[in-house]
Structure formats: C-alpha cells, structure tokens
Amino acid sequence: VLKTLAKISPSKLKSAQLTPRSSTFSSRGQHEGSWVDAAHVGEELLEEMMALHRQQVTANQEWYERLGKGELSDVELERGAPRVRVKANVRSFSTVMDAWSRLGDREAAQRCEAILQKMTHEYEETGDIALQPNLISYNTLLSAYAKIGDSEKCMDLLRVMRNENIDPDVISHNAVL
C-alpha cells in the first residue's frame, strides 16, 4: 500500500475514499469529501503501523511476564503468545519519504527530512538494524531538496552521509548537480 501511495504521489485522494478499519485517516482534521495528498495518507499509515507494532510488542511482553508468574489460563497457554505481525522498517520509511519527495516543494522536503529523523531516532532507541537509514533513504531526501534547488542542503546531506559511513553513489552526486 505504501509503495502504491508513493507511486501515485503527488496525486490527491478524496478523504471519503479512505475508510480504513481504524479512525486514523479521519482523525487528522480532514472533512469527508476533502482532498488529501497521497504522501500524507502514506505517512499516517506509517504512523499507524508503528503504533500497532508497539501494541503488539507490549501484548507479547505482557504474555511472557504472565507466563513467568504462572498467571496464564490453559486457554491462553494453548493459544500461545500474541504475535508481532506488523513492523515498519527502513523500506517503509523510505517509501513514505519518496511519496513526499515527489511533491517537489519545501514543506514536502522538510516532511521527508522529519521522517528520516524519526527513523534515525527509532533506530537509535531500539538498535533494530531494520530501522537503520540507508543509501536509499538519504538519496530520497537528497532528491527532495534537489527538486527545490537547495544545493546547500544537498551538500550538507552528502557530508552527513559520509559521517554516517554511507558512501554516496552516482545517484547521490547526480541529485546535487
């Protein structure tokens, strides 16, 4: 779904078409029938994925704590531990960044950068290698700033990449040109 949203960005979707099982999409101040960027929808879906992952991890940890204390019923033991089925990763974050970068304006580039910062924070907090920003993440951000002609920011990002031991490639350098 995230990839599809990135591919159709900068298209707008009618909020009436967005009727997920949760209320995430309607809780952002969108009025039914209003238009919203595909990138915005993608970012909300990413946030929902992260929240669901936290809930699933908490339920799993609580089950094991109760197991250790001998507090589980036979039915709960038979069902087993709650599974962690939803988890955002670097690809999820980078795909939403791509959706924002396709909009080609300063606000979108800044949203793209905020998503990279959020991913970096999650990686540093958890140590989860699946959340470590990579070359694609940085190239997507470079592309967002290149589209608005911010060469100074692009040069800064190249320095950040090198400091993070991410070797810029041809795509990175072409974005700066």
User: Whole-number mean pLDDT of the chain?
Assistant: 86
Residues 6+ apart with CB under 8 A from 150: 106, 109
How many Å apart are CA 143 and CA 141, to the nearest integer?
5
Q: What is the dihedral of CA 156, 160, 163, 167, to 10 degrees?
A: -100
With residue 14 as reference, give the H or E element that holds it.
Answer: strand 12-14
Question: CB 48: neighbour CB atoms within 10 A?
Answer: 17
Give the pLDDT score at 48.
93
Instruction: State the pLDDT confidence band at 7, using cuts at 50, 70 and 90.
Output: low
* Length of the chain in terms of residues written: 177
pLDDT in tens, 58-101: 999 999 999 999 999 999 999 999 998 889 999 999 999 999 99
Exposure b/e, 58-94, CB count within 10 A at least 16 = b: eeeeebeeeeeeeebeeeeeeeeebebeeebbbebbb
Q: How far is CA 93 from CA 3, 23, 106, 122, 158, in A?
A: 11, 21, 19, 11, 20
Supply the pLDDT for residue 163: 95
Q: Is the pLDDT of residue 28 over 90?
A: no
- pLDDT over 90, % of the chain: 72
Tell me how far apart the alpha carbons of residues 53 and 176 are, in angstroms, rounded to a whole number. Answer: 36
Q: How many CB atoms lie within 10 A of CB 35?
A: 10
Instruction: Identify the pLDDT of residue 75.
Output: 94
